[in-house]
Amino acid sequence: MNATLMTPQGAISVRIRDISLTGAQIWGESEVPCDCDAVLKRGSFFVAARVVRGEGRIAGLQFYRQLSDEEFASAFQRNTPAFSRLSPSVLHPLPAVG
């Protein structure tokens, strides 16, 4: 799964190789800095993490808090705009005319 890792050195395009409720293993298109804070982003999924280990372009992330089951599932959804998850009554609140 493709994602973006935001680090103090800038944004890095990454591939999530493995993910759990408490962390992830990623592969970066460029070298991933180690021992720093980061944010992993995939579509509407965001999680704050610590890069705890790394070897060049492969790194391990430890999330600062355990994800809920719903948050974990959202990591697998494609880049879905937030408004598409709203109920139809919220998207179209006006009654039909005619």
Residue-wise DSSP of 4-22 = EEEETTEEEEEEEEEE-SS
- pLDDT tens-digit profile of 42-55? 988 999 999 998 88
pLDDT at 86 (0 to 100)? 39
CA 31 to chain centre: 19
pLDDT at 79 (0 to 100)? 55
pLDDT, mean of residues 66-79: 86
pTM to 2 decimal places? 0.76
pLDDT, mean of residues 22-51: 95
Query: For the chain, which domains are there?
Result: 2-79 (2.40.10.220)
Confidence of residue 82 (pLDDT cuts 50, 70, 90): very low
DSSP H helices in 1-98 = 69-74, 88-91
Judged by DSSP in three states, 71 sits in helix
